Amino acid sequence: MNLQTIQKISKNSGVHHTSIEKMIKDKKIIAYKQENFKRILIDLDEFNSTFKPINNLCDDFDLDIFKV
């Protein structure tokens, strides 16, 4: 398990921390907390596994609607 803070993963991945928090609330990833500590940690490998490749040959794929 490769646990890191939400802030660190947000900074390194470019995904806003509120998006990561939403992933936790939607139960897409599991949050961890160590007793007597305030920081919430998530497993980097689990976070990375939520991303899937997109097929840019699909008719419904429009790169213009995504932030690049």
Which residues of the chain, if any, have pLDDT below 50? Answer: none
Query: What tens digit of pLDDT does each residue of 34-45 get?
Result: 899 888 999 999
**Mean of the per-residue pLDDT values for the chain?**
87
For residues 38 and 48, give the distance between their C-alpha atoms in angstroms, rounded to a whole number: 23
Counting beta carbons within 10 angstroms of the beta carbon of residue 3, is it exposed (0 to 12), middle (13 to 18) or buried (19 or more)?
Answer: middle
Q: Give the H/E segment covering residue 55.
A: none
Q: The tokens of 19 are what?
A: 């998006």
For residues 39 and 42, give the distance between their C-alpha atoms in angstroms, rounded to a whole number: 10
